[in-house]
Amino acid sequence: MRARVTVYPRREILDPQGKAIHQALERIGFAGVRDVRAGKSFEIELDGGDAAAAERLLAEMSEKLLVNPVVEDYTVELLPGEPS
Interaction site with a second copy (CB under 8 A): 4, 6-8, 11, 18, 21, 24-25, 28, 30, 32-48, 57, 60-61, 64-66, 83-84
* Distance between CA atoms of residues 52 and 44, nearest Å: 15
Least separation in angstroms between CB 38 and a second copy: 6
Closest approach, Cβ 41 to a second copy, in A, equals 4
Distance (Å, whole) CA 32 – CA 22: 10
Whose Cβ is closer to a second copy: residue 37's or residue 68's? 37
Q: Which residues contact 55 (CB under 8 A, 6 or more apart)?
A: 3, 76, 78
